Structure 1
């Protein structure tokens, strides 16, 4: 029996945490694997994990998950770092019955340094973010890469794009795409006429996700969509961004519906003709791109980054350069004006989505962890 402990610094339902939940659930179905999860704060993910039958613990300590965010001052960073190390010692006591510790974020890696040493087990860094200066800044990027290379025994990267930003040395590493729980293909309406088209964007409302760029691009399309769904909540002190988006939508007279956080975006995806991924920085992977494909949307995604590993431009979706409003407007015009093109891309996208089923990801991870444990 291989006992794998996943360590998470936050219990907020953001993309990385949801991906980990799917992976842990799928690993539990593999004979010989016994995964569990430990959170350092309470939150929605705790009950969601437990509802799936996963052993889940909460280790409360003096750490706020919003500490050590990008742009934090040196005093706050230092205080957060010390708090993480202290929590790591406590985690180490809980990890003694495990065979491998998987840190599912950069903050969890800091805790994992102490925890894995105390428990005397290998430490794996599950990397959900591109460790690059355009996201973290130059100095933090150097520090994070160096820490990983110094303390991690192996790496799980969520895409080739993410792996390329790491400094792994000769340590084992594997790309394990954030597998999606595809389920059955539910029926949906055919693609609508241009003037009736519905557009959806799914993801946390955050400046780097580019929802403001999309609204500006939509205001310049030749045919306006009938409805636009902005599906997603705000975390990590980004609430003012939603207010900014609401003001912008009103100023541009766009038919935007803000849904807030939803546990299952499926109904909105099935109601949409076009799913737009519009991040202005390279996306580490882009789970929603796969989800949109599976739901039968025509997908428009931004590169570079993970979406370029999912979408074959012009075959099962369209790709544009992230942050380029002119390209985004032109691509929206292409899709909105051509229901037949949307139908062809959506059909091919559903086929492509099957390549990212969670079962395949879990088997990749299981084989990697077994190799690391016995290697």
Structure 2
């Protein structure tokens, strides 16, 4: 690769963008969907995009994605994240970077032990880092920081997906970031048609929950604890639960006993089914207990016209404009969720007010807005770097860091 600057002049010549996703597409979540949608939004504007991901051989991925191989499960931020790391992965990252000849390299979660961290060690030039994580304390970050600190200086521009993620970055790593939220394609949710199976009535309203059922922080247990009190006031209420997790499903059924008949477990659903579900229900419930830096599903529900009832996490309060675009309850408090849900279901004018406010608020998160903001950050990185993305000639530093992380238990 050369070091000759070749970023777009005022004529707007398209960029070659390389994006690295830290988490595996074997079990995709919010970050993976964000990476996918950002890539497609950039391509829709005429840019060339390639994405490096972790994925098993039988996992379907998009044509513009390259798999660096299967992933290993790590406990991270109250969840289990599947990531690809180690010397073999580093060699694949290097080959992808050499072949890509990118103008800009965009790394998501560059300080997790993942493909993103490897790319940060290996590459230099116009590098943008997006930070998604929100947490108060992190042993993983404490362990990793001494080994990634020199590499962090190579990031020319930083993005945080929320104020919570920005605060985590500042407190754990220093420096700052521009806040650009996760994007949503608002229109497909707005025009999604309701599914008669999921449409409620005044006597039998429908409440939806989407999330990984086995992860306590997603809050299915909080919703489960509230269901008996909700049914005591509104006996016909129906709860539609979508997502993977046989253990979480079994625990919910056991906790509810006979009242489990009011809950329909839909299992994993497609994007189209999700849009239809959110367009059909009276209320979308977001009972998460922590570890949320944004809340993309809230914006999807708001776009689809569902009234949102959510825990009062900082990230959720900001998305719901402190209760103007949704209804908040005390985080982790099943009794307060039950009271709030019953009041919301009985108050049609309240639901209409928050839906109207939400329909305006979601415009801030549409990809048409978010993509332009990301491109502005790319311009900042290009202006600061004066070169294309290139690969370091000496891999000894990354090998030393890999060995150090292993000694500290950061990888295996």
Q: Residues 324-362 of structure 1, C-alpha deviation per residue, up to 9 Å, x if partnerless?
A: 222212211211222222122222222222221012111
CA distance change for structure 1 residues 366 and 258 in 2, over 3 Å: closer, same or farther?
same
Separation in 1, partners of 2:122, 2:116: 10
Separation in 1, partners of 2:107, 2:177: 14
Asked whether the equivalents of residues 209 and 285 of structure 2 are also in contact (C-alpha less than 8 Å), the reply is yes
Q: Residues 21-53 of structure 1, C-alpha deviation per residue, up to 9 Å, x if partnerless?
A: 11111111234x322111232378743x33xxx
- State the partner residue of 1:241: 248
- Structure 1 gap segments, 5+ residues each: none
Separation in 2, partners of 1:282, 1:328: 19
Aligned residue for 1:326, secondary structure, equals helix
Asked whether the equivalents of residues 54 and 84 of structure 2 are also in contact (C-alpha less than 8 Å), the reply is no
Match of 1:155 among 158, 170, 182: 158
Q: RMSD across aligned C-alpha pairs, in angstroms?
A: 3.0
Match of 2:290 among 281, 284, 287: 281
Asked whether the equivalents of residues 194 and 339 of structure 1 are also in contact (C-alpha less than 8 Å), the reply is no
CA distance change for structure 1 residues 253 and 203 in 2, over 3 Å: closer, same or farther?
closer
- Greater shift in the superposed pair: 6-15 or 103-112: 103-112
CA distance change for structure 1 residues 71 and 65 in 2, over 3 Å: closer, same or farther?
same
- State the partner residue of 1:21: 36
Match of 1:333 among 310, 318, 342: 342
- State the partner residue of 1:42: 56
Aligned residue for 1:199, secondary structure, equals strand
Q: Residues 80-109 of structure 1, C-alpha deviation per residue, up to 9 Å, x if partnerless?
A: 999434412320221121233323246766
CA distance change for structure 1 residues 43 and 243 in 2, over 3 Å: closer, same or farther?
farther
Separation in 2, partners of 1:293, 1:44: 34
Match of 1:7 among 1, 12, 20: 20
Aligned residue for 2:265, secondary structure, equals strand
Separation in 2, partners of 1:268, 1:43: 31
- Structure 2 gap segments, 5+ residues each: 1-13, 385-412
Shift of 1:293: 0.8
Match of 1:129 among 133, 136, 144: 133
Separation in 2, partners of 1:331, 1:44: 44
Counting matched residue pairs gives 352
CA distance change for structure 1 residues 217 and 113 in 2, over 3 Å: closer, same or farther?
closer
Q: Residues 167-218 of structure 1, C-alpha deviation per residue, up to 9 Å, x if partnerless?
A: 37675622121110111533659x9554221000122222110111111112
Greater C-alpha radius of gyration: 2
- State the partner residue of 1:359: 368
Separation in 2, partners of 1:358, 1:292: 16
Give the TM-score normalised by the residue count of structure 1. 0.83
Asked whether the equivalents of residues 92 and 117 of structure 1 are also in contact (C-alpha less than 8 Å), the reply is no
